[in-house]
Chain A
Amino acid sequence: MAKARGLVEILFDTCKGCELCVNACPFNVLQLSDQVNAKGYHPSMMVNPESCTGCASCAMVCPDSVITVYRVK
């Protein structure tokens, strides 16, 4: 059975780099970026896209609603 594949889009400039999504992801898909955004935070980014299943756990805990989750079966 093919597993669901997912992808998350994180708004670069409004993410505050709180790291809650990194901690909430069950598959270690996310990590904080080395780049700095306009507010001076390190935003979250996908480093391991092939593991993402689109479970939306990251979006659930995101306080700033910067994550959009896509999923295909």
Chain B
Amino acid sequence: METVIEKTNVNVDIEALRKEIIKEENIVFKKTIGLTDNPLSYCPGCGHGVVHRLIGEVCEEMEIIQDVIAIAPVGCSVFAYDFFNLDTQSAAHGRAPAVATGVKRTMPDKYVFTYQGDGDLAAIGTGETIHAANRGENITIIFINNGIYGMTGGQMAPTTLLNMKSSTSPYGREMDVHGYPLNITDMIAPLRGVCYATRQSVHTPANVRKAKAAIKKAFEYQKLKKGLSIVEIMSNCNSGWKMTPVQSNKWMEENMLENFPLGDIKVPQDK
């Protein structure tokens, strides 16, 4: 890195370059209008921000910003209504699929999605999740899995890996005492009400693009009334894991993805 700095600015007139390139028609990427201008309240490097942006971009591209209702969970993303430029309803802890069911049945022509973390969806809201999936509600669940209760201080969640340290399992999760990590997306995928189940991650640019495509597909299946679609997105929790953002992404790639392999778990069979 040192050598890079020394090389910098040799024969480069940055101001001239800026004047030449910074024009409206040269923009290849800018912040989506699906998000508000409020700065996100998440920790630096948190995967939540990327997923928020992807949802905003998908809504912008599909031109459905006026027709989307988001159901916010309890957890770090409880303030999602501040960040999404969408209509939002907060639900009690774990109850987002139940609230989404009511909203979707009242307004069947709107796009309804829930945005939940693993403590919300896989622990406290297991019942709601399974029964919404079993009923085949026409909603989309965006499930952020970081293997920990991030907001309350990094406690062990059902998705915590074996031997993974958390504030309530300081010697690592033990199978004898705490059981195995719960893989809820694989668990609900065989239900007949579920049309689309996939697991993605947001730790590299390529994975971010794939995750965006998956979210878009889920919204399209909802439009076609195929049933419930769930997009699980593996994310880091650098504060909870006590690592830097870069380290936590690396750790996730090396450890989490072994237990939670990426890819489509279920796709609709008929055309």
CB of B271 within 8 A of chain A? no
Do A17 and B28 touch (CB < 8 A)?
no
A68 to B21, CA, bound (A): 12
Contact with B along A59-71 (1 / 0, CB 8 A): 1111111111111
Residues of A in contact, count (CB < 8 Å)? 37
Chain A hits for B244, CB < 8 A: 19
Known: A48-B8, A72-B20. A63 touches B39 (CB 8 A): no
**Contact yes or no, B49 A63, CB < 8 A:** yes
* Nearest-neighbor residue (CB-CB) of A16 within chain B: B44
Number of interface residues of B (CB under 8 A): 43
- Whole-angstrom distance between the Cβ of A51 and the nearest chain B Cβ: 9
In the complex, B187 has a CB within 8 A of chain A: no
Partner of A70, one of B1, B4, B23, B45: B23
| 9-residue interface stretch from B10-18, B168-176, B261-269 | B10-18
Which residues of chain A are within 8 angstroms of B22 by Cβ–Cβ distance? 7, 9, 70
> Do residues B42 and A63 form an inter-chain contact, with CB atoms below 8 A?
yes
- In this assembly, does A20 line the interface, its C-beta being within 8 Å of a C-beta of chain B? yes
If A20-B246, A70-B28, A72-B26 touch, whether A60 touches B209 (CB-CB below 8 Å) is yes
The stretch that binds A, out of B30-38, B91-99, B118-126, B177-185, is: B30-38
When the two chains form their complex, are residues B245 and A18 in contact, meaning their CB atoms are under 8 A apart? yes
Selecting from B67-75, B132-140, B200-208, B220-228, the interface stretch reads B200-208
Taking a contact as CB atoms closer than 8 A, the residue among A14, A16, A48, A59 that contacts B4 in the complex is A48
Q: Please name all residues of chain A whose beta carbon is closer than 8 Å to the beta carbon of B48 when the two chains form the complex.
A: 63
Determine which residue in A17, A48, A63, A70 has the highest number of CB atoms from chain B within 10 A of its CB, and name it: A63
Interface flags, A24-65, vs B, CB<8A=1, else 0: 100010010000000001000011111000101101111111
Shortest CB distance A3–B (Å): 14
Q: Does A69 lie within 8 Å of B205, measured CB to CB?
A: no
Contact B4 A64 (CB under 8 A): no
Closest CB-CB distance, A25 to chain B, in whole Å? Answer: 10
Q: Are A65 and B35 in contact (CB under 8 A)?
A: yes
Interface centre among B8, B203, B249 (most CB of A within 10 A): B8
Q: Can you list 22 A-B pairs with a CB-CB distance of less than 8 A?
A: A9-B22, A18-B245, A20-B249, A24-B205, A28-B1, A31-B1, A41-B44, A46-B14, A48-B7, A48-B8, A49-B12, A60-B205, A60-B209, A62-B49, A65-B35, A65-B49, A65-B53, A69-B28, A69-B30, A70-B23, A72-B21, A72-B26
Residues of A within 8 A of B (CB): 5-7, 9, 14, 16-20, 23-24, 28, 31, 41, 46-50, 54, 56-57, 59-72
Report, nearest first, the 3 A-B pairs whose CB atoms are least far apart: A63-B49, A18-B45, A16-B44
Q: Knowing that A18-B44, A61-B202, A69-B27 are A-B contacts, what are 13 other residue pairs whose CB atoms are under 8 Å apart, sorted by A's residue number?
A: A18-B45, A28-B1, A31-B4, A46-B14, A49-B12, A49-B14, A56-B28, A60-B208, A60-B209, A63-B48, A65-B31, A65-B35, A68-B27
